[in-house]
Amino acid sequence: MGSSPTAPTALMETYNRLPIAFTRGKGCWLWDSNGNCFLDAVAGIATCSLGHSDRALRRELSKQLNRLQHVSNLFRIPEQEELAKWLVKNSCAQKVFFCNSGAEANEASIKLSRKYGHLIRNIENPIILSAKSSFHGRTLAALSATGQTKYHEGFGPLVKGFEFFSFNDIQSIERLLYRLEAEGPKVASVLIEPIQGEGGVNPGTKIFFKRLRELCDEYKVLLIFDEVQIGMARSGHWWGYQELGVEPDAFTIAKGLGGGHAIGALLVKEKADLFSPGDHASTFGGNPFACKAGLTVAKEIEKRKLLSNVQARGKQITSGLVQLINEFPHELKEVRGWGLLQGLVIQEDSTLIAEQLVKAAIKERLLIGSAGRKVVRIIPPLTITSNEVKKILIRLKSSLIATSK
């Protein structure tokens, strides 16, 4: 017997769910339980890289299910080794650790940072530096690394060993490093997003990240990028660090890697390859099914030349959003982002908030997200077409008209 999306549920109330239940999808489109069709510019929160019910993913994962799903990391996993080989070949990394999510990947990077601090810098209580307005996950250490107090409320005491600087502010990171290192080594790593997603779609600047790389080299501190949201082609490059022209010592990925299937990873250069057997592990991480999903996504992005599509569609969205800003100057302020991670910023003195626009868009059969109170986030599948982008912009304009009445 079917159930209404608003019916009582046995689920814990950890989400403010919208009253829609989707039953099927194809490409950039989703159908709900009432047969309504929606244009999806959320993509499972930057996760469904190839869209919904992709033919290649269905084919390859069906084959994998007929062969092998899980054996654990007590044994060699050829699919895992193949995906790791692809990731190393197509990035600055030399080694890969697989897990199940972005939060787990960031947890692995935090443990790696502490081991680096103890082993390489001889620090008794290593400190990790993170940016204000950052978001690194919901597990306790990743939450402690998150520079937004609203996520901390009710979960103290947080994990110790984190200090915060202002994103894109060179003087802020310089002052913090100088103060902490004045009497000897204290800092193990800097954990930072190349572009802050949940924090409001704030892209890093090249001048800031160039100086940050110099500072990390000077102090022998690991530079770790959280690429959970921007990694895996969403910027129009494979990795967000390529937008900045700066290579990290390690970086984390998840979301888009599996195309909707649970997989995350920590990628490291040789200097950060410090884990020994028993240091870290994951029961499900890197299982054959998840790695086949990741490898299929990677190969399909290459085969379909989706990096070029992301760049072209990103420019198209930016241009369209700028036009909307000109049409609604009292409500809208600016557009910022890379590729298919775009943020439409609402004027601070406008009564309009992102949540209102998200709900208005649903009435126009458009799915968009928010990134804070005053930023609307547009993160469609990488396969989106020019015509579908036009539809996003038309429906978004109708939503703005509705909220302006």
pLDDT interval class at 40 (50, 70, 90): very high
What's the DSSP call for residue 19? S
Instruction: Note whether 360 and 289 are same-domain residues.
Output: no
Whole-angstrom Cα distance, residue 179 to residue 223? 18
pLDDT interval class at 7 (50, 70, 90): low
What pLDDT is attached to residue 404?
83
8 Å CB contact between 322 and 210: no
Whole-angstrom Cα distance, residue 87 to residue 82? 9
Instruction: Note whether 186 and 277 are same-domain residues.
Output: yes
Q: Is the pLDDT reported for residue 2 higher than 70?
A: no
Q: Is the pLDDT reported for residue 1 higher than 60?
A: no
Q: Which of 261, 276, 303 is the last residue of a domain?
A: 303
Q: Could you report the per-residue pLDDT of 349-381, keeping only the tens digit for each?
A: 999 999 999 999 999 999 999 999 999 999 999
Residue 1 lies in a domain: no
> Which residues is 192 bridged to in the sheet?
225
What would the DSSP string read from start to end of 36-60?
A: -EEEESSHHHHT-TT-BS-HHHHHH
**Tokens matching residue 194:** 């190349």
Instruction: Note whether 294 and 333 are same-domain residues.
Output: no
Instruction: Note whether 311 and 208 are same-domain residues.
Output: no
Instruction: Note whether 26 and 160 are same-domain residues.
Output: no
First CA to last CA across the chain, in angstroms?
41
Q: Which of 251, 269, 303 is the last residue of a domain?
A: 303
8 Å CB contact between 263 and 105: no
Q: Could you report the per-residue pLDDT of 181-230, keeping only the tens digit for each?
A: 999 999 999 999 999 999 999 999 999 999 999 999 999 999 999 999 99
Any long-range contacts for 120-123 (C-beta under 8 Å, 24+ apart)? Answer: 120/220, 120/274, 121/185, 121/187, 121/188, 121/220, 121/221, 122/185, 123/185, 123/186, 123/187, 123/188
Proportion of the chain in helix, strand, coil states, percent, rounded to 5: 40, 20, 40
Instruction: Note whether 171 and 148 are same-domain residues.
Output: yes
Number of domains in the chain: 2
Residue 337 lies in a domain: yes
Residue 4 lies in a domain: no
What pLDDT is attached to residue 52?
98
Residue 16 lies in a domain: no
Residue among 332, 330, 337, 321 nearest 395 (CA): 321
Instruction: Note whether 122 and 80 are same-domain residues.
Output: yes
Q: What residue has token string 């999806």?
A: 40
Q: What is the mean pLDDT of residues 48-57?
A: 98
Instruction: Note whether 263 and 115 are same-domain residues.
Output: yes
Instruction: Note whether 112 and 255 are same-domain residues.
Output: yes
Q: Which domain range does residue 226 map to? A: 56-303
8 Å CB contact between 80 and 57: no
